[in-house]
Amino acid sequence: MEQLSAYILCSEEVRTALNEKRPVVALESTVIAHGLPYPSNIEAAQAMEAAIRAEGAVPATIGLHDGHIIVGLTQDEIVRLGTTAGVQKVSRRDLAVTLATKKPGATTVAGTVLCASMAGIRFFATGGIGGVHRGAEASMDISADLTELSRTPVLVTCAGAKSILDLDLTLEYLETQGVPVLGWQTDELPAFYVRSSGRRLAQRVDDALTVAAIARTQWECGLKGLIVTCPIPEEYALNPQPLEDATQQALRLAREQGIRGSATTPFILSHVAEITAGESIEANKALLINNATQGARFARAYYTGA
């Protein structure tokens, strides 16, 4: 590990790739610690790293350990995050507290975007971004992912926003924050487990070199984050109506049990997985791997022109 600052430790592989201006793709760790059950969490993390390597890029899974941001977790560290109880969920708000107290931490989308940028990484692949929650007009529950993208120059490859959110308000909020949302070979916003949400996007891109050119122009103009949304592979997509029914049931249970804030999404996804007899878990793994593959292609196009 190479120490970049008092708080960032970077694996030798990641640091060498960055120094040589080769493509590196950051990966979050909340999906390992909180998003998927064991052993699916470890399997997905390992498969995402393998998919990135298969495209000629270097994976950099990010997490917190013993007062440091680790950029490029080892396989043992990934397993530890996925099998340890009480791991902190780390967004921008939680970063300093978790570092100072030296607790183990798993980075959210917002936390990973921030830490990746601190380490000099411009590309990040995840499942689905957070967004404006249903009922946010009363709760003001809006994911920090959206504001982080408006202030941090990282390209996020994802399967759109989770379908449990208010997708219309999420797109409106991103527009207000000035975050471009690009559809990868699609005209509509993907909705995580579902390939299309019915919400038309302003911009569509059909080849990786165009994505790279947009990202380069965005950053050369001093602008910040951008999103490329990739639909889940068709064979893994879920039927929208049963999924919506399960989501509505989970939302009712969350309200009844007083589930709020950062605990809401893991609770709902867990309930949906139970209702769908694990079908949503397989869908989640498939979209994660697909996003890792596409994210590596975008990074490769940016750094190598190929």
Report the SS3 class of residue 277.
Answer: coil
243 pLDDT more than 90? no
255 pLDDT more than 90? no
33 pLDDT more than 80? yes
pLDDT at 272 (0 to 100) = 77
Spatial separation of the C-alpha atoms in residues 73 and 119, rounded to whole Å: 14
Q: How many CB atoms lie within 10 A of CB 216?
A: 13
The residue annotated as part of the active site, out of 49, 148, 162, 224, is 162
* Residue 193 near residue 169, CB atoms below 8 Å: no
Q: Is 220 left (phi over 0), alpha (psi -120 to 50) or beta?
A: alpha
* Residue 280 near residue 238, CB atoms below 8 Å: yes
Residue spans per domain, the chain? 2-304
pLDDT-derived band at 262 (thresholds 50, 70, 90) equals low
14 marked among binding-site residues: no
pLDDT-derived band at 6 (thresholds 50, 70, 90) equals confident
299 marked among binding-site residues: no
The residue annotated as part of the active site, out of 28, 49, 77, 148, is 28
Spatial separation of the C-alpha atoms in residues 156 and 160, rounded to whole Å: 10
Spatial separation of the C-alpha atoms in residues 39 and 200, rounded to whole Å: 36
144 marked among binding-site residues: yes
The CATH code of the domain at 2-304 is 3.40.1790.10
Spatial separation of the C-alpha atoms in residues 173 and 20, rounded to whole Å: 37
Spatial separation of the C-alpha atoms in residues 168 and 93, rounded to whole Å: 26
Catalytic annotation present for 162 = yes
Q: How many residues does the chain have?
A: 306
pLDDT tens sequence across 135-167: 777 778 899 999 999 999 999 999 999 877 899
Q: What's CA 24's distance to the chain center, in Å?
A: 15
141 marked among binding-site residues: yes
143 marked among binding-site residues: yes
pLDDT tens sequence across 59-70: 999 999 999 999
1 pLDDT more than 80? no
